[in-house]
Structure 1
Amino acid sequence: MNAEKRRELARDRTDLAEDRTILVHERSFAGWVRTGMAAVGIGLGFNALFRALEPAWVPKAIASAFLLVAIYIFLSADRRARRILTRLDEHSVIALKPMRIRLLSWLLSLATLALIVAIWLLTGNQSG
């Protein structure tokens, strides 16, 4: 095999490795989003199950803590994924665009923030 053919095969292997790395980081982002959604679920579940605790602000505060952790997870996943994906070039795969990652992360964060507000405003009439 001549040197030019070996260089071409090496470039192909490098390109494929970079594509695999892009896909791995997209899966990592999805994993962090799932973790954030689990924190949202725990927060809402805690608030629903322990609403009768006294004083009334205790379950709200604990639920809010989980929801704030979820926001932190969403925004951290956004920052990490975009930083990594902007350094890589796609070759044979269609990568998730950094703007879509940012949009998803911010929408989830805003929705979670709305849940925090709802917990404090809407359940305030029922619990205390």
Structure 2
Amino acid sequence: MRAPMSARMNERTGLAEDRTNLAEDRTVLAHERSFAGWLRTGMASVGIALGFNALFRAVEPQWVSKLIATAFLGVAAFIFLSAERRACTIMDRLETHKVAALKPVRMRLLAWTLTGATAALAAVIWILLEP
């Protein structure tokens, strides 16, 4: 004997909700990976700045290599802050169901810490690394 029509509809609705919830969880995790990818890109820009400043320290005038290194540090700061803004905006709209997501406040803390460290590095390049 077949189950009543309403029972089958409830089962289908429940399965559809489960699929939707799992898809939203996957989306949350994908955005966390994207955030991490942007942070890696920002850190690569910091590395380029340090390498450029170290390799071209002998360039005269010296402010040219410092300016180019600072430009890469500015790009890194922009990447950190825009990644944070985008990730937090998206995470505020999504709801997790079965996964533990990174909280937006932690994303903000990480992005602002990296931005502050990048600004400090720029200051070190200009102030402390005099010939």
TM range (shorter): over 0.9
Tell me how far apart the structure 2 counterparts of residues 5 and 115 of structure 1 sit (CA, whole Å).
Answer: 58
Paired residues for 1:76-95 under 5 Å: 76-95=82-101
Deviations, residues 9-39 of structure 1 (Å, cap 9, x unaligned):
0000000000000000000000000000000
Report how many residues are paired: 125
Residue 29 of structure 1 corresponds to which residue in structure 2? 35
Deviations, residues 47-104 of structure 1 (Å, cap 9, x unaligned):
0000000101000000000000000000000000000000000000000000000000
Give secondary structure in 1 for the equivalent of 2:49: helix
Paired residues for 1:14-93 under 5 Å: 14-93=20-99
- Residue identity opposite 1:15 in structure 2: N
Pick the structure with greater CA Rg. 2
From 13, 21, 45, give the equivalent of 1:7: 13
Unaligned runs of 5+ in 2: none
TM-score relative to the length of structure 1: 0.96
Residue 119 of structure 1 corresponds to which residue in structure 2? 125
Give secondary structure in 2 for the equivalent of 1:86: helix
- Residue identity opposite 2:37 in structure 1: G
CA RMSD for the aligned pairs? 0.7
TM-score relative to the length of structure 2: 0.94
From 82, 101, 115, give the equivalent of 2:107: 101
> Which portions of structure 1, spanning 4 or more consecutive aligned residues, are displaced by more than 6 angstroms?
none
State the identity as a percent.
Answer: 64
- Residue identity opposite 1:52 in structure 2: A
- Residue identity opposite 2:55 in structure 1: L
1:122 CA drift (Å): 1.1
